[in-house]
């Protein structure tokens, strides 16, 4: 069964990158979510896609200028629907807490805005620290939450590798950039997995990637027919916003897909 990964949580039914979206993913049977990790002014990793607050909160300003106490005041749900008024922007530590409690696994996308040398250093140290802490925390049932760290910034992934030897890393590729870029990126990063845009995949490419010992997770697929085609080619995972027809519950009558 292909691994279905809820993109920014189940972002088709709840505001992206919020606890509500992560819980909606769990409720629909997703074992994995994807989320974007940036860094606040006070050095705290935060889950936000954009480099500024305007689109997905009632606040304003660039992420690197906002500290965590001020961020906690912002509403990250009303822009999506009044039903989600009062949702907060989660910190990475909120998500790792949920993961430790529920066994939810996460694809953390490194998306650092305003990457000065100082911010890169603080960011890598903080994110790698939280990932390592999660990996070291066994749950009561002995099942640990899984983590994959991805990024379009392959240099940042290579630097993350220096701080975390065992974490699974996956370079992301924008549409059209996969064919020319994947071999070099995999080598430089020590990646075990690649995250191309789904439009860059075909059956021969998937075979070539498997021959190279790599897993493949494609983004972002909301059409069940396309997802089934990718699954038939042997693609291991797809990132999806989770509309009707694209949840594990839809696919498997309630059985979550597993790696």
Binding region for ligand G3P (CB under 6 A): 7, 34, 36, 49, 109, 150, 172, 195, 219-220, 239
Instruction: Answer yes or no: are the C-beta atoms of 46 and 92 closer than 8 Å.
Output: yes
**C-alpha distance across the termini of the chain, in Å:** 8
C-alpha of 8 from chain center = 7
Q: Which does 236 bind (CB under 5 to 8 A by kind): Mg ion, ligand G3P, none?
A: none
The residue number whose beta carbon is nearest to ligand G3P equals 219
x/- mask, Mg ion, residues 223-242, rule CB under 5 A, reads --------------------
Q: Which of 229, 235, 180, 227 is nearest to 209 (CA)?
A: 235
Cα gap 53→74, rounded to integer Å: 9
Give dist(CA 6, CA 220) in Å, integer.
10
- CB of residue 113 vs ligand G3P: minimum separation in angstroms? 12
94 contact partners, CB below 8 Å, separation of at least 6: 19, 47
State which residue, 42 or 79, has the beta carbon closest to ligand G3P.
Answer: 79
Cβ of residue 219: shortest distance to ligand G3P, in angstroms? 4
Q: In the 8-state DSSP scheme, what is residue 193?
A: E
Assigned token pair, 109: 């996308």
CB of 146 to Mg ion, least distance (A): 17
Q: Report the alpha-carbon distance of residue 118 to residue 115 in Å, rounded.
A: 8
CB of 63 to ligand G3P, least distance (A): 14
Counting contacts by CB under 5 A, is residue 109 touching Mg ion?
yes
- Which of the listed partners (ligand G3P, Mg ion, none) does 74 bind, with a CB threshold of 5 to 8 Å by partner kind? none
Q: Closest approach of Cβ 49 to Mg ion, in Å?
A: 6
**In the bound complex, what is the minimum distance in angstroms from residue 163's beta carbon to Mg ion?**
21
Runs of H (alpha helix) within 28-153: 68-71, 92-102, 117-136
Nearer CB in complex with Mg ion: 38/109: 109
Q: Which is nearer to ligand G3P, 14 or 172 (CB)?
A: 172
Q: What single-letter DSSP state applies at residue 11?
A: T
**Residue environment code for 2-23, b if the CB has 16+ CB neighbours within 10 A, otherwise e:** bbbbbbbbbbbbbbbbbbbbbb
HSE-CB of 224 using CA atoms within 13 angstroms: 11
**Quick one: what does residue 123 bind among ligand G3P, Mg ion, none, with the CB cut-off 5 to 8 Å set by partner type?**
none
- Token representation of residue 167: 């974490």
Question: Which entry of ligand G3P, Mg ion, none binds 239, CB below 5 to 8 A by partner kind?
Answer: ligand G3P
Our CB check for Mg ion shows the closer of 234 and 243 to be 243
Binding track, positions 29-58, relative to Mg ion; x by CB under 5 A: -------x----------------------
CB of 139 to ligand G3P, least distance (A): 26
If the CB atoms of residues 70 and 168 are measured against ligand G3P, the closer one turns out to be: 168
Point out which residues bind Mg ion (CB under 5 A).
Answer: 36, 109
């Amino acid at each position: 069964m292909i691994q279905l990964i809820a993109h920014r949580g189940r972002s088709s039914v709840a505001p992206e990158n919020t606890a509500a979206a992560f819980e909606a993913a769990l409720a629909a049977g997703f074992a994995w979510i994807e989320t974007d990790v940036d860094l606040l002014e006070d050095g705290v990793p935060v889950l936000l896609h954009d480099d500024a607050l305007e689109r997905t909160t009632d606040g304003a300003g660039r992420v690197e200028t906002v500290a965590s106490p001020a961020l906690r005041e912002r509403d990250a749900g009303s822009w999506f629907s009044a039903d989600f008024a009062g949702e907060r922007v989660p910190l990475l530590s909120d998500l790792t807490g949920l993961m430790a409690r529920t066994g939810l696994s996460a694809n953390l996308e490194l998306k650092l805005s305003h990457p000065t040398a100082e911010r890169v250093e603080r960011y890598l140290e903080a994110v790698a620290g939280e990932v390592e802490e999660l990996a070291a925390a066994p749950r009561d049932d002995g099942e640990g939450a899984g983590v994959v760290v991805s990024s379009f910034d392959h240099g940042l992934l290579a630097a993350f590798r220096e701080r975390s030897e065992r974490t699974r890393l996956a370079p992301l590729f924008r549409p059209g950039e996969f064919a020319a870029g994947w071999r070099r990126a995999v080598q430089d990063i020590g990646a075990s997995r690649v995250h191309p845009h789904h439009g860059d995949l075909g059956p021969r490419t998937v075979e070539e990637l498997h021959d190279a010992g790599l897993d493949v997770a494609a983004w972002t697929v909301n059409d069940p027919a396309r997802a089934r085609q990718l699954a038939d080619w042997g693609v291991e995972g797809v990132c999806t916003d989770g509309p009707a027809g694209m949840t594990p519950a839809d696919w498997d009558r309630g059985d979550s897909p597993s790696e």
